[in-house]
């Protein structure tokens, strides 16, 4: 009690504490400001995904322009090949093979029956949380991630899909599906929800493959049934791959045996 009731000269330390309180205020402001900046930039400290400078520097309009140009040239090419084939039987067979190969490689538009899967982000994270501890988890589960799209595409391939597109982007061999910040890049073209995945194949087989009990889409439905919609379609049109097909490193082996070492 003697310590507490001692007569203390407050003036001596009030000023100094005030001075350092000012410095502390500056420090807190710096910390708070940095934290807000991180939150506002959309990329949390512990969130995987960072932006690549090179993809951001090419404007989307330029990409679209180039792609329509490529599509036009490819169509011209197909027309020329067809005209060439009219002349002789041999070249007609050759052309048929060429067109089959192009269709397989995803360089032509494809029509046929199939299914259409629509994935949307859940609105659950906007509801008032029942349990504050699970807020982050709900936020994470509410979003459609790049891996989800890649998994659906893979599931459709496994169920026998012959041609696939995500939001109008043809899925071919080298097609990457990757998230950069809030958008998902398919064929290096940014897309946003809703993600419409079209697949041409046996509609029943594709539908059943996706809706396996305990399967991929079940996991979404358990969280929020509104995130997934699967429709069978009697006629779908899937656009051709519009990106570059140039190979820089690999080259075709001309005949088996030679060059195989």
State in angstroms the smallest separation of the CB of 105 from another protein: 43
State in angstroms the smallest separation of the CB of 216 from another protein: 34
Q: Which is nearer to another protein, 9 or 126 (CB)?
A: 9
State in angstroms the smallest separation of the CB of 44 from another protein: 10
Cα–Cα dist 237/113, whole Å: 9
Q: Which is nearer to another protein, 19 or 160 (CB)?
A: 19
Q: Which is nearer to another protein, 30 or 97 (CB)?
A: 30
In order, the DSSP letters of 140-152 are: HHHSPPHHHHHHH
Q: Which is nearer to another protein, 43 or 103 (CB)?
A: 43
Cα–Cα dist 31/101, whole Å: 59
- Under 8 Å CB-to-CB from 179, ≥6 apart: which residues? 49, 145, 146, 185
Around 257, how many Cα atoms within 13 Å sit in the side-chain half-sphere? 1
Q: Which is nearer to another protein, 38 or 73 (CB)?
A: 38
State in angstroms the smallest separation of the CB of 42 from another protein: 12
State in angstroms the smallest separation of the CB of 181 from another protein: 14
Order of all β-strands in the sheet with 183-186: 177-180, 183-186, 189-191
Cα–Cα dist 85/1, whole Å: 108
3-state helix, strand, coil in the chain (%, to 5): 50, 15, 35
Cα–Cα dist 71/159, whole Å: 29
State in angstroms the smallest separation of the CB of 36 from another protein: 9
What are the tokens at 112? Answer: 């046929």
Footprint on this chain of another protein (rule: CB under 8 A): 1, 3-6, 8, 10-35, 37-38, 41, 45
Q: Which is nearer to another protein, 20 or 97 (CB)?
A: 20
């Amino acid at each position: 009690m003697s310590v507490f009731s001692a007569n203390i000269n407050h003036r001596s330390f009030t000023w100094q504490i005030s001075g350092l309180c000012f410095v502390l205020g500056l420090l807190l402001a710096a910390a708070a400001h940095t934290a807000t900046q991180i939150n506002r930039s959309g990329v949390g400290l512990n969130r995987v995904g960072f932006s690549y400078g090179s993809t951001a520097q090419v404007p989307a309009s330029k990409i679209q322009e180039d792609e329509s140009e490529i599509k036009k040239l490819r169509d011209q090419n197909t027309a020329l090949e067809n005209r060439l084939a009219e002349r002789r039987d041999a070249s007609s067979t050759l052309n048929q093979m060429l067109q089959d190969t192009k269709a397989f490689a995803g360089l032509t538009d494809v029509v046929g029956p199939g299914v259409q899967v629509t994935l949307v982000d859940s609105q659950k994270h906007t509801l008032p949380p029942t349990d504050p501890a699970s807020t982050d988890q709900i936020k994470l589960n509410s979003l459609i991630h790049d891996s989800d799209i890649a998994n659906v595409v893979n599931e459709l391939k496994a169920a026998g899909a012959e041609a696939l597109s995500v939001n109008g982007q043809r899925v071919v061999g080298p097609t990457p599906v990757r998230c950069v910040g809030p958008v998902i890049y398919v064929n290096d073209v940014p897309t946003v929800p809703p993600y419409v995945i079209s697949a041409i194949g046996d509609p029943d087989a594709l539908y059943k493959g996706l809706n396996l009990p305990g399967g991929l889409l079940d996991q979404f439905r358990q969280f929020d049934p509104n995130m997934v919609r699967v429709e069978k379609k009697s006629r779908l049109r899937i656009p051709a791959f519009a990106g570059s097909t140039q190979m820089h490193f690999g080259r075709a082996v001309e005949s088996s045996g030679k060059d195989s070492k």
